[in-house]
Amino acid sequence: MPMPPPKPSTEGDRDRQVFHEMGQIVRALELMGPQTRDGLAELVGAQFWEAQRFERALTFALADGLAYRTDEGLISASG
């Protein structure tokens, strides 16, 4: 018999939703090019996300190397 999936509390700082949000950020950057933080937030509709979700997803995307800050201070997709 297979083991049940882990409880959500064992997923640590990252939940399933944050991976989806990170994907939205990366796709927006790939499609629209480098953006300011506010421009990126507008592109992904962050105003409709729960409080601090955009900042959290962006922080993880930057930490994981999926996105980076350019010398001009814009956020760009890696790759």
What confidence category does residue 7 fall into, taking pLDDT thresholds of 50, 70 and 90? low
Q: Is residue 45 in some structural domain?
A: yes
Q: What is the CATH number of the domain that holds 40?
A: 1.10.10
Q: Is 2 inside any structural domain?
A: no
In a domain, 64, yes or no: yes
Residues 41-57 pLDDT 10s: 999 999 999 999 999 99
Which uninterrupted H or E stretch holds 20? helix 16-32
SS3 74: coil
d(CA 20, CA 18): 5
Q: Is residue 51 part of a domain?
A: yes
C-alpha separations of 8 from 15, 24, 47, 52 in Å: 7, 22, 25, 19
Report pLDDT digits (tens) over 17-45. Answer: 999 999 999 999 999 999 999 999 999 99
Residue 31 lies in a domain: yes
Residue-number span of the structural domain to which 34 is assigned: 14-77
Q: Is residue 63 part of a domain?
A: yes
Q: Structurally, how many domains does the chain consist of? A: 1
Q: Are 44 and 54 in contact (CB under 8 A)?
A: yes
Q: Give the global pTM.
A: 0.81
